[in-house]
């Protein structure tokens, strides 16, 4: 699993997977080619130290996890061109 830290509270958690796939073509291509059904799915939200943000915990397939780590961050242009870091979560 992976955790995206610092997602603005005005972004609905249920839309995150769609936003990530739509705004990051490299991830979308891997997700579409993968036979792993759970290659990117939201598991739960977690509080952030800053009350204006939350952290989102995802079940991430190994190909997508490696790609995000290679990219450095997940790009979310629809959210003020914000880039959010993925960390390991266990």
Range picked from 14-28, 52-66, 76-90 for highest mean pLDDT: 52-66
Give this prediction's pTM.
0.72
Q: Are 68 and 89 in contact (CB under 8 A)?
A: no
Please report the pLDDT score of residue 59 as a whole number. 85
Please report the pLDDT score of residue 37 as a whole number. 47
pLDDT higher than 80, residue 74: no
Q: Could you list the residue range(s) of the whole structural domain that residue 45 is in?
A: 2-88
Please report the pLDDT score of residue 47 as a whole number. 92
Handedness of CA 15, 13, 6, 39 (dihedral sign): negative
Task: Give 24-73 pLDDT, tens digit per residue.
Answer: 777 777 776 655 545 778 899 989 999 999 999 988 888 888 887 888 77
For 43, the enclosing helix (H) or strand (E) is strand 40-47
Domain count, the chain: 1
């Amino acid at each position: 699993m992976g955790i995206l830290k610092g997602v603005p509270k005005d972004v609905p958690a249920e839309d995150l997977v769609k936003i990530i796939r739509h705004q990051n073509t490299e991830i979308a291509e891997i997700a579409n080619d993968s036979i792993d059904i759970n290659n990117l799915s939201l598991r739960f939200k977690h509080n952030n130290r800053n009350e204006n943000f939350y952290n989102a915990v995802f079940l991430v397939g190994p190909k997508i996890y490696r790609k995000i780590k290679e990219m450095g961050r997940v790009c979310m242009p629809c959210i003020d061109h914000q880039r959010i870091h993925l960390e390991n979560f266990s």
